[in-house]
Copies of this chain bind each other. A is one copy, B any other.
C-alpha cells in the first residue's frame, strides 16, 4: 500500500469549506484504490496573518517542503486588503510559493461542459461550437519577477519601471510543457505573444519554433495577444493549447475561465521540473459567499484530481474523480450559480455535491 504525503492549505473565504469536500473525495479514493494519503494541514494567507503574523509562516513552508504536493484552497479578502502590498496574502503566499518551488508550468484547463453551454457569456451559436482550452502559462519569470523593478526620480519626472525578461532556457521548458500537453489533446499549440513590439516575444517565437520541430504531430500557430483576446470570443473552438508568458497567461486564462461561465468548476496546476506542484481552484476566495455552504466544491475536487495525476502519477484515481464529476454535472447535481434564476431552488449545497461525487467513486 503506497503512502503519499500531501500538504493541505485551505486558506481563506470559501477555501476551508470546499477543501472539506476535496478531502471527502480523497478519502473515498484511498479506499477504492488502496492508497494512503497523509494530509497535513497548514495555515496560509489571511488566516495565517491573523494566527502567525504572516501569510506564509515557516511551518507552512516547511510542511510544503516535506510533502509531495500542495493542495491549495484560496486566499485573501477585504480584511487584509489594506496591508502593504508585499505582506498581502496573494503576494506574500501565492507568488512566494510559486517562486520558492520554481513552479514554472501553470496548467489552466477551461472548458464548456456539455449541458452547461447556457452559462457561457458567449452567444448561443458560438458557445455551441464548443470550447475546450488548456492554457499553459509560464509562472516564475517574465515581468512578474524580472529585475530591475523600482521607482526613481522626483516630482513629475519620478518614474516607475518593471522588467520583462525571458531566457531561452525558461522559454524552452514551458514550450515543452505545452507541446507535451498538446500531444495528449488536440495536437495544436497556439503561442500568444506581442512579437511586433516586444523583444521578449521575438525570442519566445524563435524558441517555440525550435521546440516545435521535436513534435511533428503538433501544429504550432502564433497569435498576438490583442488578436487572441478577440478570436477567443469569435472562434473559441479554434483553440486547443494556448502557450503564454506569465503576464499574457494571466490575462488569457482569466478570459478563458469567463468564457466557460463556470469558474467554480475550473482547477489549476502549477508544477516544477520534478513534478512537485501546487493545485488550486482558478476562482478566488469569494468572501461574499463564504460560510454559507453554497460554494461549488468542484474546482477544488478537480484540483485534487490534477494533483494525483501530475504529482503522484495516480492516473486511474484521477480518471475516477474526473468521471464522477462529469456524471454529477450530467445528473444535474449543481450548486446555485450553475442554475438559471428560475431553477435556483433546486440548488445543491457544497456538501451535497461533495457527497454525490464521493458516492459515485
Contacts and interface: CB of A to CB of B under 8 A. Distances in A.
Interface of A: 85, 88, 90-91, 95, 120-124, 126-127, 143-144, 146, 149-151, 153, 155-170, 172, 194-200, 202-204, 225-227, 229-230, 233-234, 247, 250-251, 253-255, 257-259
Nearest to A198: B162
B121 A160 contact: no
Contacts of A172: 156
A164 B150 contact: no
22 contacts: A85-B202, A95-B197, A120-B123, A122-B122, A122-B233, A143-B164, A143-B198, A144-B197, A155-B168, A156-B172, A158-B167, A159-B166, A160-B198, A160-B199, A161-B200, A163-B164, A194-B250, A225-B250, A226-B251, A229-B255, A230-B258, A233-B258
A325 B232 CA distance: 29
Given A199-B162, A225-B251, A153 B167 contact: yes
A163 B161 contact: yes
A260 to B, nearest CB: 11
A194 B247 contact: yes
Contacts of A225: 250-251
A122 to B, nearest CB: 6
A353 B121 CA distance: 32
A203 B121 contact: no
B229 A254 contact: yes
A168 B199 CA distance: 25
B124 A121 contact: no
B160 A166 contact: yes
Contacts of A195: 85
A233 to B, nearest CB: 4
Nearest to A145: B197
A167 B162 contact: no
A153 B165 CA distance: 13
A154 to B, nearest CB: 10
Nearest to A258: B230
A43 B38 CA distance: 71
B233 A257 contact: no
A121 B120 CA distance: 11
The 10 A-B residue pairs with the shortest CB-CB distance, nearest first, are A230-B258, A160-B203, A159-B167, A226-B254, A156-B169, A229-B255, A121-B233, A160-B199, A160-B200, A161-B165
Nearest to A252: B229
A201 to B, nearest CB: 8
Given A124-B124, A156-B167, A226-B251, 13 more contacts: A85-B202, A95-B197, A121-B122, A153-B167, A156-B172, A160-B198, A160-B202, A161-B164, A161-B166, A162-B164, A162-B199, A197-B247, A233-B255
Contacts of A257: 230
A151 to B, nearest CB: 6
